[in-house]
Amino acid sequence: MTSRLVVKVGGAVAGESADRILGLCEEGHEVCVVHGAGPQITSEMTRRGIEVEFVGGRRRTNAAGLDVVLGDLATPVHGERDGLLAVPVPQLGLVGEPLPCRPKKILTALADGKVPVVAPMAVGPLNVNADDAAAALALGLGANALVFLTDVPGLYVDDTLVDEIGVGDAHRMLDAGVFDGGIVPKLRAAAIAAGSGITARIGQTEVVA
């Protein structure tokens, strides 16, 4: 049975994720990829002398940083031009909180049997966290599953890799500040998706309602 998947690919594992994505397509799934390139963006911002700052696991973005994101990401779907919507988050600069949406270009690509690869930018233009963008698109596109391909095997709780975590526990631990760094937006996004009935997985950890 064909299912629709949103796959968020971290920049650190973009190369090795290609075979996994092609395999999903060969199995008959519709796959929409959201391409995060955090390490590459950070490296390029540092090279250009642009300050790199994170707030709650999300990169603060200014006009100079946007140039890095727009200029260096090669993708067939440009969120800012193709209808990825977001609410501005002024305290983070030119950053937005993505909204569930169904960009026509993505739907057309899926209908044509192609794999849309979405740059995490929104109309504005606003930079959006790729994990948040993946969750918003999963909701908007009516995806069956949201999958995070990352350079970590999954979610660690008390230094132990867990196979699953409930949505309630995820939100409680996030609110308590148990986690930090890049796992924060991933777990938050997965919890939002799972709470809406979408299968959500970070590595080998499933987030369940």
Tens of pLDDT, residues 43-69: 656 666 767 666 666 656 554 443 444
pLDDT: which is higher, 134 or 43: 134
C-alpha closest to that of 143 among 23, 2, 6, 1 = 6
**Contact present, 98 and 133 (Cβ < 8 Å):** yes
Token pair 């650190």 is at which residue? 12
pLDDT: which is higher, 161 or 2: 161
Q: Is the dihedral of CA 160, 164, 169, 175 positive or negative?
A: positive
* Mean pLDDT (whole number) for 65-84: 61
Least confident of 66-70, 80-84, 188-192: 66-70
What is the model's pLDDT at position 66? 38
* Mean pLDDT (whole number) for 115-125: 85
Alpha carbon dihedral 28, 29, 30, 34, in 10-degree steps, equals -130
pLDDT at 149 over 80: yes
**Contact present, 175 and 36 (Cβ < 8 Å):** no
Amino acid sitting at position 84 = L
CATH architecture of the domain with range 4-148: 3-Layer(aba) Sandwich (3.40)
